[in-house]
Each structure stands twice: as structure tokens, then as C-alpha cells.
Amino acid sequence: MTTQNNGVRVSQRMGTVGEPGRGAHRGSPGPPGRPLQVAGSHRRSKEHHLRPSLDHALAAAAAASSKQAQDICVLDVSEPLVISDYFVICSGGSDRHVRAIVEEVERVCRGRGVRPTHREGAQAARWILLDFTDFVVHVFLEEEREFYNLERLWQDVPVVARSDDLGSLVTA
């Protein structure tokens, strides 16, 4: 059974995330997940506010997955940060791969009516940051991601979604 959440397809039974009209990306999902929900305990008004930004962040993560981004992680940074709600973090194997991931994320987000307010790192393509205000997408070259290790820096925030061993995006 699947439901639509502002253009993001969510499989209630398996917990995978994909784009409308497409199956879960790159193979079968991992262990059964829960229906899409905002991680952590938020008041109803906060949850209502986070809903659109969560849907956009998950769409960006699904777009990255469609370009075979590695180790995709969506973090809920809404509690410690007031300027952004979610971080989408992923890696590419080469500068060309990083650029392809970024182009797909921007294409999908533009199709949803969302454009980045700021973009950094596109020239060198070692760490490209797309700031959509409510969510920020970080696309790293593998070596850069290991060096900066944002997941360690934000280890205390809830993980909303993560790619599994097969590359499918699974909600937490």
C-alpha cells in the first residue's frame, strides 16, 4: 500500500521512498520500516510546519538516490538550528558524479517549485552545498565526506531516512 505525500511516494509496508510513478530505487528495500513521519517529538504545530520541508528533503534524497548517490542520510536539525529543518547528506564517487547528483536534485526540486537560495562548491565539486532554506543538501566527494564527517558532528539529531545496503531510501 502506498500513499502520496506532496509528490513523494511512500510505501507504508516497506518504508521505502521514491518518486511518483517509479518504484523504490535500486533494488528491494531493507527491513520493514514505519510509515513516513517526522522523527523526534514535535508539537502538532511544529510538525505541521515541518511537513512541507520534510517532503522536499525526502524528494531531494530520492533524486540523489536515482543518480546512485551513496550513503544518503536525512537528518532532522530543526531542534538545534533555527535556520533550517533538515540536512540531506550523500556522496558521489567522482567530481562528475557529484555534479550529476546535484543537477538531478535541483531538477526535481525545481519541478516541485523549490529553488536553492544559495549554492556553494560547484566549481571544484568536492562538496557542493545547496541551501533551500528549510533544508540543505550536502553532496560530497567520498574523501571529503570522510574528512568533514557531518554525521558525527550532528550525531545527536534524529535520522529521518537513510539508504540501506541496496541503496533504497528507508524512513527511520
Q: Which domain holds residue 119?
A: 2-171
Nearest to residue 11, comparing CAs of 48, 51, 57, 62?
62
Share of the chain above pLDDT 90, in %: 60
Check if the beta carbon of residue 72 is closer than 8 Å to that of residue 61: yes
Assign residue 146 the CATH number of its domain: 3.30.460.10
In the structure grid, which three cell numbers stand for residue 148, read together?
568533514
Segment 14-49, tens digit of pLDDT:
344 444 433 333 333 333 333 333 344 343 344 545
pTM: 0.71
Residue 114 CA to residue 132 CA, distance in Å, equals: 7
Q: What is the pLDDT of residue 32?
A: 36
C-alpha dihedral sign at 118, 120, 122, 125? negative
> Grid coordinates standing for 118?
544559495
Number of domains the chain is built from: 1
